[in-house]
Structure 1
Amino acid sequence: MHDTWARLPDEILDAITERTGQVCTVRAAFGGSNTDLAVTVTGPAGRTFVKAAPKVSPDEDSPRVRALRREAAINPCVPEFAPRLLWTAEAGGWLAVGFEHIRGRHADYSPGNPDLLALAETVHRLQAVPCPEVVVMRVERRWEALAKDVSPMAGEALLHTDLNPHNLLITADGQVRVVDWAFASRGAAWVEIGQVVPWLIRAGHSPAEAEWWAEQFPSWADADPAAIDLHARLSAERWGRYSDAHPTSHVPAYLAVARRWAAHRHG
């Protein structure tokens, strides 16, 4: 990520520094797989978290630029969850977005960890928020190539869709901030919990324990078990196809967890 900063076109660097002031330090962020640049920049006014990605052409956005635009669009709609969007800049064939920097640690979903309570409280609050009009992605479309009928996942609830431990930042005073809203979607409310269950399994919970945790949410408890079965099966199949197309080192672990949950549901 630091190398990417050094290779940024002068036009977008100038646009960023116009907003941050002279940059003193640049520190790469963990992850950032959905953007070309994710760094914490320190300037005269303090720290700013900056994401950036290049366009395909002056008139065509790349998938990562589209993701940044979606994240910027939803930000004002979820101020109680997301770090505040400070600015956007577009120059030199790149789009950059700047967010307030949150000093916090990533959540820990391991069994018995107090962060599970913070996660549950966050999900309960999120499930009560109406889906903003700016959210146009429909979550069921993720699986429409894998099944004839994915309507059980459809709905009008606001879904973050990726509440993994690295997307929950917990501050020293216990506040929780949710980051990476690029794939926020609308769909059935229970799908949000279904997206969390594999992260609990990956953190050390058994599938039965993860589902017991999920039962605290009315949307999950009231969901048709057959719909949850479908979600688990299609998620495993989607990871399998992704693994075949992208045989990188981190994919097998996610695929193993997805298959373990699907096997539990159909066992």
Structure 2
Amino acid sequence: MPSSPPHPVATRRPGWSDLPVGMRAALADRLGAPVVATRAATAGFTRGFAGVLSAADGGRVFVKAAPRDSHLANWYWREAAVLDRLPAGLPAPRTRWTLAESGWFAVALDAVDGYPPGRPSGPSELATILTAYADVAAALNPPPSDLAALNPPHLADLAQADILRWGDVAAGREAPPPLPVGLEQRLPELVGLESRLPGYLAPASGLIHGDLRPDNVLLTPHGQVWFCDWTWLCRGPAWFDLVTLLLGGHGVEQQEVTVAALAVAGGTSSPTGPASSAFPEATVGTAPALTTDWLDAAFAAHPAAADAPPDALDVTLAALAGYFLTTAAVVPETATEQLVAHQRHSGVYALDWLARRQGWS
């Protein structure tokens, strides 16, 4: 299996000049001064507008915008509703305002300077992120009443409806994805592993991010860690977020420009401290490739995994590998071509990690 995916292509997002004149004027009105500079995202997986707007009076906001009749507009509205209700002090961006104009919908967030984690992340950097996520997980379990009032879906239902794919492959309802040499005969084991996931997820009553990957994390020069893009908040166990965070840190290489790199964040938070000594030791200032042994140990040591079933990591990796590899064949109309490479490589790394744990390779 490859050690790293090819460098992703730039995202084909609408630019500032592509927004309707009425929307641009409305955004300037809400800012209170003319827009004098824009810094648009050129990477990511969606086709909506995303970028920092700078006003003549020095004001800055990060804006996401899409046609009102698109799925993206619904996603942006949902994210704004979640961000408005996250507990105070949680390291996540906050909604400044929303507006609808000229057939488009926009959400504005506070903008601060920051940068994305390395791809792949180094052990020290990822350990710092994992320490910060422990506080986020604790703040969402039990779920705050304001967030629970949004009636977020349960991950167990989402898994049953959409994530589990190996069973469909085995039954001929889904085209089989290409598998690495030596793993073609492992379909029965993959079906058996992923089938346990809904039962493992069902007892969870807390809330999780639901789409936690390194490209949804923002780091600041002052040592703060921010968790962005909260569209897919759902009920589920925090160890599921932990798996997707570790998987992304292991197998996705550095993107030069991402939404996170444009510094979507807001509110206040104390800088995070040093990585917990419970995580595998890492030398500060180095960024060696993460080994599956390190990832295994990091999962086992994290507070979010304290109540996880013994084979939760294997079951989740099996399910995610099937989901990523089968969905890599189709690009939704809301997504960019870059999503295909992301899905494929995420699936490959999930399967590689699982194969090593199972002794298949």
Question: TM-score scaled to structure 1, two decimals?
Answer: 0.87
Unaligned runs of 5+ in 2: 1-11, 168-194, 253-288, 332-336
Unaligned runs of 5+ in 1: 57-61
Query: What do you get for the CA RMSD once the two structures are aligned?
Result: 2.3
Structure 1 letter corresponding to 2:311 = A
Structure 2 letter corresponding to 1:18 = D
1:59 counterpart residue number = none
| 1:5 and 2:16 aligned | yes
Q: Distance in 2 between matches of 1:34 and 1:139?
A: 22
Q: Distance in 2 between matches of 1:111 and 1:50?
A: 27
1:95-134 per-position Cα deviation (integer Å, ceiling 9, x unaligned): 1011111101112365654322321221110111133212
2:258 counterpart residue number = none
Structure 2 letter corresponding to 1:153 = L
Distance apart, 1:18 and its partner CA: 0.9
* 102 and 35 in structure 1: CA distance in 2 versus 1, 3 angstrom threshold: farther
Structure 1 residues 1-267: aligned runs within 5 Å: 3-20=14-31, 21-34=33-46, 36-43=48-55, 44-56=57-69, 62-78=70-86, 79=88, 80-108=90-118, 110=120, 112-130=122-140, 131=143, 132-133=147-148, 134=150, 136-145=152-161, 146=164, 150-154=198-202, 155-202=204-251, 204-246=289-331, 248-267=340-359
Preserved CA contact (<8 Å) 2:121 2:250: no
* 262 and 74 in structure 1: CA distance in 2 versus 1, 3 angstrom threshold: same
Structure of greater relative contact order (alpha carbons < 8 Å, 6+ residues apart) = 2
Structure 2 letter corresponding to 1:260 = D
Q: Distance in 1 between matches of 2:347 and 2:213?
A: 15
Partner SS state of residue 294, structure 2: helix
Q: Distance in 2 between matches of 1:250 and 1:193?
A: 18
Number of corresponding residues: 262
Q: Distance in 1 between matches of 2:158 and 2:357?
A: 20
Q: Distance in 2 between matches of 1:28 and 1:211?
A: 37
Partner SS state of residue 200, structure 1: helix
Preserved CA contact (<8 Å) 2:13 2:41: no
* 213 and 225 in structure 1: CA distance in 2 versus 1, 3 angstrom threshold: same
Q: Distance in 1 between matches of 2:341 and 2:302?
A: 34
Q: Distance in 1 between matches of 2:341 and 2:226?
A: 29
Distance apart, 1:89 and its partner CA: 0.6
Q: Distance in 1 between matches of 2:13 and 2:105?
A: 17
2:187 counterpart residue number = none
* 76 and 13 in structure 1: CA distance in 2 versus 1, 3 angstrom threshold: same
Q: Distance in 2 between matches of 1:250 and 1:166?
A: 11
2:262 counterpart residue number = none
